[in-house]
Amino acid sequence: MVKRYKPKKWFSYARLFIVFGIIFTLGKTTDHVYYDIIKADNKMEEKALELTVIEENKENIYYEENPVLLKYLSLPEKGFVVTNTNQKYELSDSDFNFLTAVVASESNRFKDDVLAVVSVILNRSDSKGISPVDVVKSPGQFSGYLDGYYLRYLNADGSLTSNTAMVQDVLRDALNGVRNNNYFSFRSWSSSSYSDTYIQEYGNRYR
Protein backbone atom coordinates (compact mmCIF):
# COMPACT_ATOMS: atom_id res chain seq x y z
CA MET A 1 0.00 0.00 0.00
CA VAL A 2 1.37 3.42 -0.91
CA LYS A 3 1.45 6.03 1.84
CA ARG A 4 0.48 9.42 0.47
CA TYR A 5 1.44 12.63 2.11
CA LYS A 6 -0.66 15.68 1.38
CA PRO A 7 0.17 19.16 2.63
CA LYS A 8 -2.29 20.65 5.09
CA LYS A 9 -4.25 23.72 4.03
CA TRP A 10 -4.08 26.34 6.75
CA PHE A 11 -5.33 29.38 4.87
CA SER A 12 -9.09 29.80 4.50
CA TYR A 13 -11.31 32.15 2.59
CA ALA A 14 -11.53 34.48 5.59
CA ARG A 15 -8.93 36.81 4.02
CA LEU A 16 -11.45 39.58 3.46
CA PHE A 17 -12.45 39.49 7.11
CA ILE A 18 -8.77 39.68 8.14
CA VAL A 19 -8.14 42.57 5.75
CA PHE A 20 -10.92 44.69 7.22
CA GLY A 21 -9.78 43.72 10.70
CA ILE A 22 -6.41 45.22 9.80
CA ILE A 23 -8.09 48.33 8.44
CA PHE A 24 -10.11 48.73 11.62
CA THR A 25 -6.99 48.26 13.74
CA LEU A 26 -5.16 50.92 11.74
CA GLY A 27 -7.99 53.30 12.44
CA LYS A 28 -8.08 52.50 16.17
CA THR A 29 -4.33 52.94 16.63
CA THR A 30 -4.31 56.36 14.97
CA ASP A 31 -7.14 57.93 17.02
CA HIS A 32 -9.46 57.62 14.02
CA VAL A 33 -7.54 60.23 12.04
CA TYR A 34 -7.16 57.92 9.06
CA TYR A 35 -10.07 55.58 9.62
CA ASP A 36 -12.62 57.73 7.80
CA ILE A 37 -10.10 58.54 5.06
CA ILE A 38 -9.41 54.92 4.10
CA LYS A 39 -13.02 53.82 4.45
CA ALA A 40 -14.28 52.55 1.08
CA ASP A 41 -17.32 54.21 -0.48
CA ASN A 42 -17.98 51.65 -3.22
CA LYS A 43 -17.04 48.17 -4.40
CA MET A 44 -14.18 49.34 -6.60
CA GLU A 45 -12.57 51.29 -3.78
CA GLU A 46 -13.17 48.36 -1.44
CA LYS A 47 -11.37 45.99 -3.81
CA ALA A 48 -8.49 48.43 -4.31
CA LEU A 49 -8.16 48.85 -0.56
CA GLU A 50 -8.16 45.09 -0.03
CA LEU A 51 -5.39 44.62 -2.60
CA THR A 52 -3.35 47.42 -1.03
CA VAL A 53 -3.55 45.93 2.44
CA ILE A 54 -2.72 42.47 1.09
CA GLU A 55 0.29 43.87 -0.80
CA GLU A 56 1.55 45.63 2.31
CA ASN A 57 1.17 42.45 4.34
CA LYS A 58 1.99 39.85 1.69
CA GLU A 59 4.94 38.43 3.59
CA ASN A 60 2.84 37.76 6.68
CA ILE A 61 0.04 36.35 4.54
CA TYR A 62 2.51 34.09 2.71
CA TYR A 63 3.76 32.61 5.96
CA GLU A 64 0.20 32.25 7.22
CA GLU A 65 -0.58 30.23 4.10
CA ASN A 66 2.64 28.21 4.50
CA PRO A 67 3.26 27.79 8.25
CA VAL A 68 5.72 24.94 7.62
CA LEU A 69 8.23 27.59 6.47
CA LEU A 70 8.34 28.93 10.03
CA LYS A 71 8.92 25.46 11.43
CA TYR A 72 12.53 25.30 10.26
CA LEU A 73 15.56 27.56 10.46
CA SER A 74 16.90 29.44 7.44
CA LEU A 75 20.53 30.52 7.29
CA PRO A 76 20.95 32.18 3.88
CA GLU A 77 24.56 33.19 4.42
CA LYS A 78 25.48 29.51 4.59
CA GLY A 79 23.15 28.33 1.85
CA PHE A 80 20.19 27.20 3.94
CA VAL A 81 16.83 28.64 2.87
CA VAL A 82 13.59 26.82 3.65
CA THR A 83 11.33 26.30 0.62
CA ASN A 84 8.20 24.21 0.10
CA THR A 85 7.80 24.14 -3.68
CA ASN A 86 10.15 21.26 -4.45
CA GLN A 87 9.40 17.93 -6.08
CA LYS A 88 7.27 15.61 -3.97
CA TYR A 89 7.81 11.91 -3.43
CA GLU A 90 5.56 9.05 -2.38
CA LEU A 91 6.94 6.04 -0.52
CA SER A 92 5.50 2.72 0.57
CA ASP A 93 5.31 2.08 4.31
CA SER A 94 8.41 -0.10 4.23
CA ASP A 95 10.42 2.42 2.19
CA PHE A 96 9.32 5.24 4.49
CA ASN A 97 10.50 3.28 7.53
CA PHE A 98 13.77 2.39 5.84
CA LEU A 99 14.51 5.97 4.83
CA THR A 100 13.57 7.26 8.29
CA ALA A 101 15.98 4.80 9.90
CA VAL A 102 18.83 5.75 7.56
CA VAL A 103 18.29 9.47 8.08
CA ALA A 104 18.10 8.94 11.85
CA SER A 105 21.43 7.14 11.70
CA GLU A 106 22.94 10.11 9.84
CA SER A 107 21.32 12.84 11.95
CA ASN A 108 18.76 12.67 14.73
CA ARG A 109 19.71 15.47 17.13
CA PHE A 110 18.28 18.58 15.46
CA LYS A 111 15.30 18.85 13.14
CA ASP A 112 17.05 21.42 10.93
CA ASP A 113 20.02 19.12 10.44
CA VAL A 114 17.65 16.22 9.74
CA LEU A 115 15.93 18.32 7.07
CA ALA A 116 19.36 19.17 5.64
CA VAL A 117 20.24 15.47 5.34
CA VAL A 118 16.91 14.65 3.70
CA SER A 119 17.29 17.63 1.38
CA VAL A 120 20.64 16.29 0.16
CA ILE A 121 19.04 12.89 -0.54
CA LEU A 122 16.11 14.42 -2.40
CA ASN A 123 18.37 16.80 -4.32
CA ARG A 124 20.19 13.73 -5.62
CA SER A 125 16.86 12.05 -6.42
CA ASP A 126 15.84 15.05 -8.51
CA SER A 127 19.19 15.16 -10.28
CA LYS A 128 19.51 11.44 -11.01
CA GLY A 129 15.83 10.72 -11.58
CA ILE A 130 15.81 7.88 -9.05
CA SER A 131 13.95 7.23 -5.82
CA PRO A 132 15.31 8.41 -2.44
CA VAL A 133 15.76 4.79 -1.43
CA ASP A 134 17.90 4.11 -4.50
CA VAL A 135 19.97 7.19 -3.65
CA VAL A 136 20.67 5.85 -0.16
CA LYS A 137 21.51 2.38 -1.46
CA SER A 138 23.94 3.67 -4.11
CA PRO A 139 27.46 2.20 -3.63
CA GLY A 140 29.69 3.87 -1.06
CA GLN A 141 27.42 6.81 -0.20
CA PHE A 142 25.82 6.76 3.26
CA SER A 143 27.67 5.26 6.21
CA GLY A 144 24.46 4.94 8.22
CA TYR A 145 23.27 2.44 5.64
CA LEU A 146 26.61 0.85 4.67
CA ASP A 147 27.67 0.17 8.26
CA GLY A 148 24.21 -0.97 9.32
CA TYR A 149 23.69 1.78 11.90
CA TYR A 150 20.18 2.35 10.57
CA LEU A 151 19.10 -1.03 11.96
CA ARG A 152 19.19 0.47 15.45
CA TYR A 153 16.09 2.44 14.51
CA LEU A 154 14.06 -0.50 13.23
CA ASN A 155 12.24 -3.13 15.25
CA ALA A 156 12.38 -6.78 14.29
CA ASP A 157 9.08 -6.48 12.40
CA GLY A 158 10.36 -3.54 10.33
CA SER A 159 8.48 -0.88 12.29
CA LEU A 160 10.28 2.18 13.61
CA THR A 161 11.55 2.56 17.15
CA SER A 162 9.97 5.19 19.41
CA ASN A 163 12.92 7.59 19.21
CA THR A 164 12.33 8.37 15.52
CA ALA A 165 9.19 10.52 15.89
CA MET A 166 10.98 13.78 15.10
CA VAL A 167 12.76 12.30 12.08
CA GLN A 168 9.48 10.90 10.76
CA ASP A 169 7.83 14.32 11.07
CA VAL A 170 10.66 16.03 9.19
CA LEU A 171 10.71 13.35 6.51
CA ARG A 172 6.98 13.77 5.88
CA ASP A 173 7.49 17.50 5.37
CA ALA A 174 10.41 16.85 3.02
CA LEU A 175 8.45 14.33 0.95
CA ASN A 176 5.79 17.02 0.62
CA GLY A 177 8.28 19.44 -0.94
CA VAL A 178 10.01 21.12 2.00
CA ARG A 179 13.81 21.51 1.81
CA ASN A 180 16.42 23.81 3.27
CA ASN A 181 19.38 23.55 0.89
CA ASN A 182 20.62 22.71 -2.62
CA TYR A 183 23.65 20.71 -1.50
CA PHE A 184 24.51 17.25 -2.79
CA SER A 185 26.84 15.95 -0.08
CA PHE A 186 27.68 16.18 3.60
CA ARG A 187 30.01 14.73 6.20
CA SER A 188 29.95 14.53 9.97
CA TRP A 189 30.81 17.42 12.25
CA SER A 190 34.16 15.76 13.07
CA SER A 191 35.24 16.19 9.43
CA SER A 192 36.39 19.75 10.07
CA SER A 193 38.53 19.85 6.93
CA TYR A 194 35.53 19.10 4.72
CA SER A 195 33.41 22.22 5.05
CA ASP A 196 32.51 25.06 7.36
CA THR A 197 28.93 25.09 6.10
CA TYR A 198 26.42 23.77 8.60
CA ILE A 199 22.92 24.59 9.74
CA GLN A 200 23.61 23.88 13.43
CA GLU A 201 26.73 23.37 15.47
CA TYR A 202 27.57 19.72 16.08
CA GLY A 203 25.45 18.73 13.11
CA ASN A 204 26.75 17.70 9.68
CA ARG A 205 28.80 19.81 7.26
CA TYR A 206 27.41 20.37 3.79
CA ARG A 207 28.49 21.26 0.31
158: left (phi over 0), alpha (psi -120 to 50) or beta: left
Query: How many Cβ atoms from other residues are within 10 Å of residue 136's Cβ?
Result: 23
pLDDT for position 133: 98
Q: What is the pLDDT of residue 22?
A: 54
pTM for the full model? 0.71
pLDDT along the chain (207 residues), means of 10: 48 49 51 48 69 61 71 96 96 98 96 98 98 97 97 97 97 97 96 93 96
The rounded Cα 203 to chain-centroid distance in angstroms is 17
CA angle 119, 120, 123 (to 5 degrees): 80
For residue 30, the model assigns a pLDDT of 45
Q: What is the pLDDT of residue 98?
A: 98
